[in-house]
Amino acid sequence: MSSFIVGRTVALCFVMMTFVASCVDAQCSWEFLESATHIKCHLRILESQGLDLHIAGSADKLDIQCSDSLLYASELPTNAFIKLQKLNIEKIQLNTQNSVWGPAKSLEIFQDSFNSLKNLQYLDLSANNIRQLPEGIWCKSTQNLQVLNLTMNRLRTFDTIGFSVDDKVCSGSELQILDVSFNELRTVPENWGASRLLRLQQLNLQHNNITQISADAFTGLSSLRILNLSNNHLESLPNDIFANNKDLREVHLKNNELYDLPRGIFHHLEQLLILDLSGNQLTSHHVDNNTFSGLMRLIVLNLASNALTRIGAKTFKELYFLQILNLRNNSIGHIEEGTFLPLYNLHTLNLAENRLHTLDNKMFNGLFVLSKLTLSNNLINIIEDQAFQCTFKNLNQLTGLRLIDNRIGNLTKGMFAGMPRLSVLNLAKNNIQSIEIGTFDENIEIEAIRLDKNFLTNINGLFATLASLLWLNLSENHLTWFDYAFVPRNLKWLDIHGNYIEKLENYYKLQEEIHITTLDASHNRITEINKMAVPNSIELLFINNNMVTSIASNTFVDKMNLTRVDLYANMLSKVQLNSLRVAPSTTPEFYLGGNPFECDCSMNWLLTINNQSSSSRMYPKIMDLGNIECLMPHSRSEPIRLLTTLSTSDFVCKYDRFCPDTCHCCDFDNCNCEMVCPQNCSCFHDANWTTNIVDCGKQNLNTLPKKIPTGVTDLYLDALYLNGSNIVNIEHSTFTTMHTLEVLHLENNKLQTLEGYEFAHLSLLKELYLHNNLLNNIGNSTFAPLVSLQILRIDNNRLTSIPMWQFVTLQYRNSLQAISMGRNSWTCRCKFLQELTQFAYENTMIIQDPQDIYCVDGAIKRELDLNSSSSECVESLESTSSTGANQDQSNGYISLLAAVLVLIFLVVILIIGFVFRESLRMWLFAHYGVRVCESRFEDAGKLYDAIILHSARDYEFVCRNIATELEHGGPPFRLCIQQRDLPPEASHLQIVEASRASRKIILILTKNLLATEWTRPEFRSAFHEALRGCTNKLVIVEETEVSIPSNRISTCDRYFWDKLRFAIPIELSPRGNNYTLDHHERFKQPVSPGVIFRQAPPPPAYYPEDIEANYSSATTATPSPRPTRHMQPSSTLRPPSEHIYSSIESEYSAYDLDPNGQHNLHHQQQQQLLPSSYRQQLQQQHHLHNNRSSKINSMGLELNAHPSNWRNGPVVAPVHIRSGSGLSSGSGVNVNMNVSNAVAANPSSSSTSSSTNTTTTTTPQVGGSNNGQTFLV
């Protein structure tokens, strides 16, 4: 065995392990692969008894595979590899794929599972749904472990990853790479599982739910080089989080919710090469001159998809080695001069999807090696010559310039002169109307130019001198003229689709000089294609969706490399086969569908063109034959048919006169063999004259046309299969010369009698149509010559007693396939009726209309029983009469049954509606705003829709959840909130008056309310007084069960918001108070999704603490929105920069910044609604407020409204006047002056009121939730 100890490496792989821990046969069947040292073991399950690995000691590679037919949890036994102690196992990959089977399937690992693997270096436990690893499992048995992969499991805390024992963290391990990504981790504490792994170099924590990191979380990881925290929910980082990680090379923080970066957070990372901060909410206020100081070795910086609005001149002052800078998808509108001056090693700069309007003269100074510059999707207007020359004069190494989707106007000569090495220029989707000749002359190395989606009308002289140009896109412009002389001779790819070009001209007849291989000229107005319009070098040609009507002969013969031609959706009606001839060495693919082809005898090549042999092939292969439709001018039923449904005989040409070679009397008037089309008729023939069609329909003929050509195969004499020709009779020799006639249509005429000689020579006639005439007599020998007859229609005539059984003779009975004879007035005489019934019974298979055969007895129409051949005529009549009576009775029963079913259905619907009436009312209100059985104008004219009574302890819960949802939802309600709009310890009269001014009373019934406010007698008295005589006004939002008879709504109810809105009535009539004016302005603003709960709000005790941050964008001209706080894990996708730029809240308006603006406007409007006595009191209070405000200012109190102190917007500092009849509240500094006139109404409160009449209190509040003011009458 010693020979297998040294140098042996065993890779133990568990593939698709789905085990059961039960007593099932676990014997292995060994399979020796490749050599004797490669062993493969097939197991049904892996039991807790262990593995029988007695013969695995001689293996270099051991592969254990378990059955995938058992879907149970897997279990790795203790000491599973105890017998492999003499093997040097370095790598184990244990993948159960439990994540595929669902969260219930998990892998359980015991404390000693890996004890025998002393030399294990690589361990992969990914995708096993592991929820917890034993304590200290990695501390003893795996001293040499270097790579540990725990990704795609269900680990929630770092205490469960196996590096801790008795709250002590393992240290001294050889682990270098730890991957814990795609788990459910939430925080990174100070002493977490792997915080003391001194040799750890790479730590992957991406795609978790991490929201907080301790400042000392990475202190012990002194060798850490790569840290990945992407796709988490981090909002901020501690100041010194990287203080002891000076060897960091890469830091990935993309797709988090970072809105702030502590000052100097990256100062110590002198070895950092890659920093990714994309997909966050960083603003220009937090990315300043010192953010990236000290990162002198940084190579890649990614700031894409943030909220930056401007870049300062010193933002990148020390990034001398930076090579890639990504600023895409921000709101950058201004870049200061010299910003990129230190970045003399930068070669890639992405400024796409921002708000840049102009390019300053020295914006890109210092970028000497810049090779790729992207400015797409900005708002760049006109680029002047001097501006471009100054801006790009030092960009000698620039190879790619992208200015897609801007507002650039005309281009002039010299704009791109400072970029001699430019190879790719993208100016698509701009407003370019003209380009001056010589604009690109200095760009001698340019290879690709995109000018699509502009407004160019002429390109003559612009590109002909660009010898290196290979790729040119001029699509979707306004070009009307094109010549191959306009493009350089070395051009390979040309796209001019979507213009107004009518012809591909080649004035100088250039063929060999042009090297275009791909040409897209689709969606233009091209009308013809000839040999000079297509270069000989062409390989792919797209001329679809044009107006091409003709293709010249031999157009594609000289195109030796041709592989595909698109000609579909044009106006081609006829194409000669020579027009599609190609070089013998090629077999290109052609697409011809969507053209209005007239498939005459010259187009019959369409049926055989794809049947050519490859050796002698001279024509292309048509790839869309199944999509080609043919116009059939001679067809009476289908004017448009698919090519695949046609045969050779359907391709016919029109003729007026034709003299066959065998006819020698064409020069004479009386010549029977000459084929002359009758006057006012249309005649067609196929290429071989096997089909000869004469169409004389739609002519209102009273007699048959003269000189019908001999050899006619199809004769049409009506408007639609012979209808409307008004033919009364047929003469003796009418069809004498039509020996080959097969189909004859004579329906819809006025024929009355057929004598018997009319069809004497039509022995080949197969179809005869005589329906819809006036026939009352048919001679016995009329149909005798028609020995080939297959279809006969004589229905809808006036026949009464014609013996049909005599017409259908034995000589053509075998060929007859269909006969229609209904809708005639057959006689009901017994003898005839019996014979007719017998005939119908024997020919049931060929009679097409048995339901229309009846007899007429006087004025009575009687249906016939054609299923019997022996019934007497009288019995038949009685049976018919009885059948009719039974049918009438059956019809009556059906009508009655239908009425009963409808009645039962309506009753069931009414019962269901009554049982579920409450749910139905809520559903109608939630989805359509319809209130069933409710008064729409209940208590009209009240100032508020509802007053909310609650405990002071529940203030945050009410304001941030209930009030925010009702005031900002749809429809918005006007609320009076007790702790916000009423004074603390409000008096009895104040609560009563506020309740009477509201249409509903909402009581937030919680334990806090029962323990505080409800114990106050004046509160309970005011509450009962407000409900006196109107108990239906009460709406209870309950936390516990109550027994008060009122509308009760639980916060746990899934329809909480719908029921609460439904309980508050809506008045649709307009109101003229200040509340409407103020709140309608505020309702226009977007509400943060982290504040409004669309489902029932959490109880007050569980509401998360409001974590605020110093957020300001006062340093920018276009402030960005306040970052969103995610209450739940959300998508990491960023909104587009357009959304960021336009999300400026209205709190920045001048009305809110002026304490005397909007506030006074509300105050004046509210006073107009007050009684005269209240109005005088308010004027006195306002005078008192002015006097006291001056005193406050003299005492040093400052009403600070600087933007740096804002949170949810600028701080408004209104004066809140409290009186016995009304209150107001807001955010900012509160100057509370209690001048109460409620003493007379409530003597018990006189002492309190008098004591506060001369007291002025100041209560500073930062960032209150109420931006508008509410006055209560």
Cβ neighbours of residue 1203 under 8 Å, at least 6 residues apart? Answer: 1112, 1114, 1210
Which range of 139-143, 393-397, 699-703, 896-900 scores highest in mean pLDDT? It is: 896-900
Is residue 639 reached through a cis peptide bond, with omega within 30 degrees of 0 on the bond before it? no
For tokens 């009962």, the residue is: 1024
CA distance 121 to 148: 8
CATH superfamily name and code, 676-824: Ribonuclease Inhibitor (3.80.10.10)
Q: List the Cα angle 300/303/307 in 5-degree steps.
A: 170
| Tens digit of each residue's pLDDT (9 = 90 or more) over 1210-1229 | 333 333 323 333 333 333 33
Neighbouring CB atoms inside 10 A of 873's CB total: 18
DSSP code, position 305? S
Determine the straight-line distance between the first and last CA of the chain, rounded to whole angstroms: 99
- Give, in order, the Cα–Cα distances in Å from 183 to each of 130, 149, 1018: 10, 12, 55
For the residues 444-473, what does the mean pLDDT come to?
94
Is residue 77 reached through a cis peptide bond, with omega within 30 degrees of 0 on the bond before it? no
CA distance 425 to 441: 13
CA distance 1068 to 1064: 13
Judge whether 479-646 and 676-824 match in fold: yes
| Tens digit of each residue's pLDDT (9 = 90 or more) over 401-425 | 899 999 888 888 888 887 888 999 9
Tokens of 276: 């990714």
According to the model, what pLDDT value does residue 543 have?
Answer: 97
3-state secondary structure (DSSP) of residue 591: strand
Residue 581 pLDDT > 90, yes or no? yes
CA distance 1225 to 144: 67
Residue 526 pLDDT > 90, yes or no? yes
Residue 315 pLDDT > 50, yes or no? yes
Computed from CA positions of residues 844, 848, 850, 855, in that sequence, does the dihedral angle turn out positive or negative? negative
According to the model, what pLDDT value does residue 803 have?
Answer: 83
Alpha helices in 508-648 (DSSP H): none
According to the model, what pLDDT value does residue 353 have?
Answer: 92
CA distance 285 to 288: 6
> Domain ranges in the chain?
356-475, 479-646, 676-824, 944-1063
Per-chain mean pLDDT for the chain: 75
Provide the percentage of residues in the chain whose pLDDT is more than 70. 67
CA distance 1002 to 949: 6
For tokens 């090297």, the residue is: 515
According to the model, what pLDDT value does residue 1077 have?
Answer: 32
Under the banding of pLDDT at 50, 70 and 90, the label for residue 659 is confident
For the residues 304-330, what does the mean pLDDT come to?
93
- Name the CA dihedral angle for 1090, 1091, 1094, 1099, rounded to a multiple of 10 degrees: 110
3-state secondary structure (DSSP) of residue 293: coil
For tokens 């060994």, the residue is: 30
For the residues 564-585, what does the mean pLDDT come to?
93
3-state secondary structure (DSSP) of residue 1217: strand
Residue 1231 pLDDT > 80, yes or no? no
According to the model, what pLDDT value does residue 190 have?
Answer: 86
3-state secondary structure (DSSP) of residue 519: strand
Residue 1256 near residue 1233, CB atoms below 8 Å: yes
Residue 40 pLDDT > 90, yes or no? no
Residue 1188 pLDDT > 60, yes or no? no
Sheet strand arrangement including 767-769: 652-655, 682-686, 692-695, 714-716, 743-745, 767-769, 791-793, 818-820
What is the crossing angle of helices 1056-1063 and 917-928, to 10°? 90
Conformational region of residue 767, where left means phi above 0, alpha means psi within -120 to 50, and beta covers everything else: beta
DSSP code, position 307? B
Count CA atoms closer than 13 A to 1035's CA, side-chain side.
22
According to the model, what pLDDT value does residue 15 have?
Answer: 34
According to the model, what pLDDT value does residue 275 have?
Answer: 96
3-state secondary structure (DSSP) of residue 715: strand
Domain 356-475 belongs to what architecture?
A: Alpha-Beta Horseshoe (3.80)
Cβ neighbours of residue 41 under 8 Å, at least 6 residues apart? Answer: 28, 29, 30, 31, 56, 62, 63, 64, 65
3-state secondary structure (DSSP) of residue 90: strand
Higher pLDDT, residue 48 or 623: 623
What is the crossing angle of helices 917-928 and 873-915, to 10°? 80
Tokens of 569: 């959706």
Under the banding of pLDDT at 50, 70 and 90, the label for residue 109 is confident
3-state secondary structure (DSSP) of residue 482: strand
Query: In this structure, are strands 324-326 and 348-350 parallel, antiparallel, or unpaired?
Result: parallel
CA distance 242 to 33: 51
Listed residue (701, 697, 702) closest to 715, CA to CA:
697
| Tens digit of each residue's pLDDT (9 = 90 or more) over 123-158 | 888 888 888 888 878 776 667 888 999 999 999 988
Under the banding of pLDDT at 50, 70 and 90, the label for residue 622 is very high
Is the domain defined by 944-1063 classed in CATH 3.40.50.10140?
Answer: yes
Residue 630 near residue 652, CB atoms below 8 Å: no
According to the model, what pLDDT value does residue 563 have?
Answer: 96
According to the model, what pLDDT value does residue 579 have?
Answer: 94
CA distance 236 to 101: 37
CA distance 415 to 24: 81
According to the model, what pLDDT value does residue 327 have?
Answer: 96
Residue 634 near residue 586, CB atoms below 8 Å: no
- Provide the residue count of the chain: 1273
Listed residue (764, 771, 823, 762) closest to 792, CA to CA:
771
Looking at CATH, the fold of the domain delimited by 479-646 is given as: 3.80.10
Tokens of 218: 């990475």
CA distance 1128 to 437: 59
Query: In this structure, are strands 692-695 and 550-551 parallel, antiparallel, or unpaired?
Result: unpaired
According to the model, what pLDDT value does residue 1174 have?
Answer: 45
Residue 1098 pLDDT > 50, yes or no? no
Q: Counting beta carbons within 10 angstroms of the beta carbon of residue 253, is it exposed (0 to 12), middle (13 to 18) or buried (19 or more)?
A: buried
As a three-state string, the secondary structure of 501-515 is CCCEECCCCCCCCCC
According to the model, what pLDDT value does residue 21 have?
Answer: 28
Give residue 971's identity as a one-letter amino acid code. P
According to the model, what pLDDT value does residue 87 have?
Answer: 61
Cβ neighbours of residue 425 under 8 Å, at least 6 residues apart? Answer: 401, 416, 440, 443, 446, 448, 449, 450
DSSP code, position 625? G
According to the model, what pLDDT value does residue 889 have?
Answer: 60
For tokens 């603006």, the residue is: 1157
Which range of 22-36, 620-634, 975-989, 1044-1058 scores highest in mean pLDDT? It is: 620-634
Residue 51 pLDDT > 50, yes or no? yes
- Give, in order, the Cα–Cα distances in Å from 542 to each of 468, 507, 581: 24, 21, 17
Phi, psi of 817, deg, nearest 5: -115, -25
For the residues 207-225, what does the mean pLDDT come to?
92
According to the model, what pLDDT value does residue 1238 have?
Answer: 31
Residue 1263 pLDDT > 80, yes or no? no
For tokens 């007849």, the residue is: 509
Q: List the Cα angle 812/818/823 in 5-degree steps.
A: 120
CA distance 153 to 129: 4
Residue 820 near residue 794, CB atoms below 8 Å: yes
Listed residue (1055, 1144, 877, 1086) closest to 968, CA to CA:
1086
Residue 558 pLDDT > 80, yes or no? yes
Determine the longest span between alpha carbons in the chain, in angstroms: 138
Cβ neighbours of residue 1219 under 8 Å, at least 6 residues apart? Answer: 1174, 1177, 1178, 1181, 1234, 1235, 1236, 1237, 1238
Element (H or E) spanning 965, and its range?
Answer: helix 964-968
- Give, in order, the Cα–Cα distances in Å from 414 to each of 235, 273, 384, 434, 462: 48, 38, 10, 15, 13
Q: Counting beta carbons within 10 angstroms of the beta carbon of residue 1140, is it exposed (0 to 12), middle (13 to 18) or buried (19 or more)?
A: buried
| Tens digit of each residue's pLDDT (9 = 90 or more) over 976-985 | 998 888 887 7
Higher pLDDT, residue 686 or 213: 213
Q: List the Cα angle 189/191/196 in 5-degree steps.
A: 125
DSSP code, position 1149? S
Neighbouring CB atoms inside 10 A of 1056's CB total: 19
